Structure 1
């Protein structure tokens, strides 16, 4: 089904909004009407990146000249009314652990040998086929195992809302780039919250799809690729492209004709009558900060006023579940690092080395019991959420923290205390999104998590779009600091 692009008064929009700030849905409408050129849009993004990037450090393999060449090719196609695909001429960034042909995948760490990728991974392939301009990769921490922009390979990535804070992770650069206005579309990955956490702390929107909805290579339990955008409609637009099948993902879902275009026309009426669970206690990890609690409770009140049936929930995660997953991932990382030379291991962040090395004395029985927690989380999550159409909660118990920290505790022995709200939906394979629902007194964004039943990615997007229309007024997007 083709994506419906709602008619917009493009001339008025363009006159009031910088081109790099325009949503992809509006750019496409302007391209169709020959009111904008992909060259002008790409140049606007490049100029804006040049102002931000020395302080933000969100990009890897940033290639402005190549992007302009692609934009000129796109401009020629639009002049002939023969776009290459749904996203022809739209700027996009891709997280660096998603392979793009000919480019190395450092996985955020200086320990990895830089070997060019043989082929595009499925998300990159779909973007290229759709005509999008992939002008840069984005940064991530070592092995994607931190919720920050701290990396032994990349420069330290920062949060555009407050440069003393980090953007979150592991899709660190993607979150920062989306909030800073590096064009409208960005792709990240998520295995415990790596899309939703930076989305929450950077004030953007992101969807972690149902497992297998967006094919990825290599697949892994709980691992998903998904969109990072400023608007819900742009994420739905990306899903139409990203959800195309790819045989390389052995966990991928069958091809399905999903009406992603319905998201753009969803109204607050969608909320009426929906059974929504309200989860304010993760059952494990760090305590909920008062400002986060207030913002999520305000979101619940707005949904209830719009006709939802909101019911408080009891926690279903336990500290034992969280610790078990942590210990299993420690052993996985310890095993991976044992395969490295001593010279390579020395290049890994000390925090990551300390975390992984702590698994050295674990017995086989301990590793087995740790591995079983993933299934227990899955069962508990499905059981607790099945009584509702959707479940809302904080994305994280706190807001963005110091940029130089590896995580909110900065303690390698307590590394996952902030993912109690997000990681359950990776294990249960359910879709879950982060949408901004407020700000702290200091102006830092706060994310609302919206989770749905397995395979109901469209419904999560629709509820997100409906909430987007009833939430309190948003703060202006951050601007580059003065030189």
Structure 2
């Protein structure tokens, strides 16, 4: 019987949610070793086609799964993720593995320690069996990289998975286990989740400690279900002194995701004010999501976007200068190994004045100031994640133009700079069955509320299409 035929009758172990895996381990219905072997066999069928993994370590994973199996069988397991397979993005350090940042210009040196998010997952018993791919320096929403092979979208191999958490999104959609960890400074977990049909939370800044920390940069879960994202957050959201922006300890009950929509005030943002034109299919999905909440008793009204050309171009200048600072220190031959699109984009940073760069940085504060008043009148905001449904796998960005690199992030980047939690969740499909995400944003620090709204939407959105299966050849 084929994998497609069995999927309707019994959920394959590699397709189980983390919540269901843990329940199965506890009931001794199956073991972490059995789950891992199914995940590895599934990867063998998919990976030649999508190229999502870096530093794949099946032997190390088997050792960890064996130890986890013994703990569960002896009744000694007390870790919240014990035996659950997980992948971690290239740029999140894991002890003993080099961190190439998606680019051939990086000197490959084994990391001396786990970065905070990786440490929390390992402490929780998760089996880190691989890292995942990303584009050069994380500065593209694409599966294109000068270091990693081209990563493709499992829903349609001709299409891009997005990025910069490209491999994490592709792995999640393909069923490489339930939990995947990405990073996001302008949309890098939400955009690929949108294009791969996943759930991805960009937490409030500091909710998940990260090293190195940076303005707007967060790590967040990428999963198939909201419950799994919440489970990951219960592990990831612990303070770490390595991150000076880490939030203090909290008593958030991450499993409490019951939030009635009745009487909630919800804004619908369809025009951010700048960027690529919104495609009709994306607009229809966002409007349908808003109407679903309205049907559940929420009060919904459309709100005006606040992003401006000055904000987006200023951020572009700031990020160009920031990357050029790194690239300019390299010998010309090494610098030339950078992905041409990225090098072309960053070189323009050399021509910016100090005032240009400061003005660019100041737009991050302008976004924050402009975003805050929205939540004086609403509890949550619904918007598209990406203005476009999809784009070709070989492209660096939807427009593929280094002179206009960020036209597709106007819905996502403001929430990095404003520090609000924002989640992408699948809202529907185009005529060819390609997923289209919806974004739900909450007030700063209301990560639990955003997850609860996404959980409610899982029920409201209706039946979902089956996850893609690996090609037969």
Please state which band the TM-score falls in when normalised by the shorter chain. Answer: over 0.9
Alignment of 1:449-460 (within 5 A): 449-460=439-450
Contact 1:104/1:117 (<8 A) preserved = yes
Alpha-carbon distance in 2 for matches of 1:72, 1:315: 52
Contact 1:24/1:185 (<8 A) preserved = yes
> For 2:380, which of 387, 390, 400 is the aligned residue?
390
Match of 2:304 in 1: 314
Alpha-carbon distance in 2 for matches of 1:61, 1:14: 33
Alignment of 1:32-431 (within 5 A): 32-263=26-257, 266=258, 270-431=260-421
1:24 aligns with 2:18: yes
Secondary structure at 2:107's aligned position in 1?
coil
Alpha-carbon distance in 1 for matches of 2:17, 2:8: 11
Secondary structure at 2:227's aligned position in 1?
helix
Structure 1 runs not aligned, ≥5 long: 1-11
Secondary structure at 1:76's aligned position in 2?
helix
Query: Any idea what the Cα deviations from partners look like across 1:336-387, whole Å, max 9, x if unmatched?
Result: 1001111210110010010011122211222221121111011001122332
Alpha-carbon distance in 2 for matches of 1:57, 1:255: 38
Query: Any idea what the Cα deviations from partners look like across 1:451-480, whole Å, max 9, x if unmatched?
Result: 000000000000000000110321100000
Secondary structure at 2:256's aligned position in 1?
helix
The Cα shift of 1:15 comes to: 6.4
Contact 1:108/1:141 (<8 A) preserved = yes
Query: Any idea what the Cα deviations from partners look like across 1:305-329, whole Å, max 9, x if unmatched?
Result: 0111111001111111011001110
Query: Any idea what the Cα deviations from partners look like across 1:275-304, whole Å, max 9, x if unmatched?
Result: 100000010110000000011111111110
Residues 1:73 and 1:176: Cα distance change in structure 2 (over 3 Å): same
Secondary structure at 1:296's aligned position in 2?
helix
Secondary structure at 2:162's aligned position in 1?
coil
Contact 1:277/1:385 (<8 A) preserved = no
Alignment of 1:468-479 (within 5 A): 468-479=458-469
Match of 2:3 in 1: none
Match of 1:9 in 2: none
Structure 2 runs not aligned, ≥5 long: 1-5
Alpha carbon RMSD of aligned pairs, Å? 1.3
Match of 2:451 in 1: 461
Alpha-carbon distance in 2 for matches of 1:182, 1:100: 19
Superposition TM-score, scaled by structure 2 size: 0.97
Superposition TM-score, scaled by structure 1 size: 0.95
Alpha-carbon distance in 1 for matches of 2:325, 2:174: 37
Contact 1:215/1:243 (<8 A) preserved = yes
Secondary structure at 1:401's aligned position in 2?
coil
